[in-house]
Amino acid sequence: MIRQCHFHMDEDVEGVPLSDGAFEFVCTRTGHPAGRDWSWLEMPPAPSSSTLGGLADELALADVLPEVVEALGDGWFEVGLVERAYAQKDPAGFGLMVDRWGHSAWGVQLAYSATTYLARTLGELSRQGLVSYHGGVGTGRWKYNSDISWWARVPAPPWESRTSWADLLGDDPNTDPCLEYVLQPT
Report in angstroms how near the CB of residue 5 gets to Zn ion at its nearest.
Answer: 3
The residue (of 73 and 155) whose beta carbon lies closer to Zn ion is: 155
Task: Compute the distance between CA of residue 13 and CA of residue 127 in angstroms, rounded to an integer.
Answer: 12
- Choices 14-22, 29-37, 42-50, 88-96 (CB under 5 A): range interacting with Zn ion: 29-37
Task: Compute the distance between CA of residue 24 and CA of residue 9 in angstroms, rounded to an integer.
Answer: 17
- Choices 22-30, 42-50, 60-68, 110-118 (CB under 5 A): range interacting with Zn ion: 22-30
Q: Does 5 bind Zn ion (CB under 5 A)?
A: yes
The contacts of residue 164 (CB under 8 Å, 6+ apart) are 78, 81, 139, 140
Q: Does 158 bind Zn ion (CB under 5 A)?
A: no
Among 162, 124, 157, 135, CA closest to 35: 157
Q: Does 8 bind Zn ion (CB under 5 A)?
A: yes
Q: What angle do CA 21, 135, 174 make, to 5 degrees?
A: 85
How is residue 140 annotated by DSSP?
G
Report in angstroms how near the CB of residue 135 gets to Zn ion at its nearest.
Answer: 17
Q: Does 106 bind Zn ion (CB under 5 A)?
A: no
Q: How many residues of this chain bind Zn ion (CB under 5 A)?
A: 6
Q: Does 3 bind Zn ion (CB under 5 A)?
A: no
Q: In this chain, which of 12, 16, 21, 29 binds Zn ion, going by CB under 5 A?
A: 29
| Residues 42, 164 contacting (CB under 8 angstroms) | no
Alpha helices in 8-148 (DSSP H): 52-58, 61-72, 79-89, 91-101, 114-127
What is residue 162's three-state secondary structure?
A: strand
Q: Does 27 bind Zn ion (CB under 5 A)?
A: yes
Q: Does 37 bind Zn ion (CB under 5 A)?
A: no
The residue (of 12 and 172) whose beta carbon lies closer to Zn ion is: 12
Report in angstroms how near the CB of residue 42 gets to Zn ion at its nearest.
Answer: 15
Q: Does 98 bind Zn ion (CB under 5 A)?
A: no
The site for Zn ion (CB under 5 A) is made up of 5, 7-8, 27, 29, 38
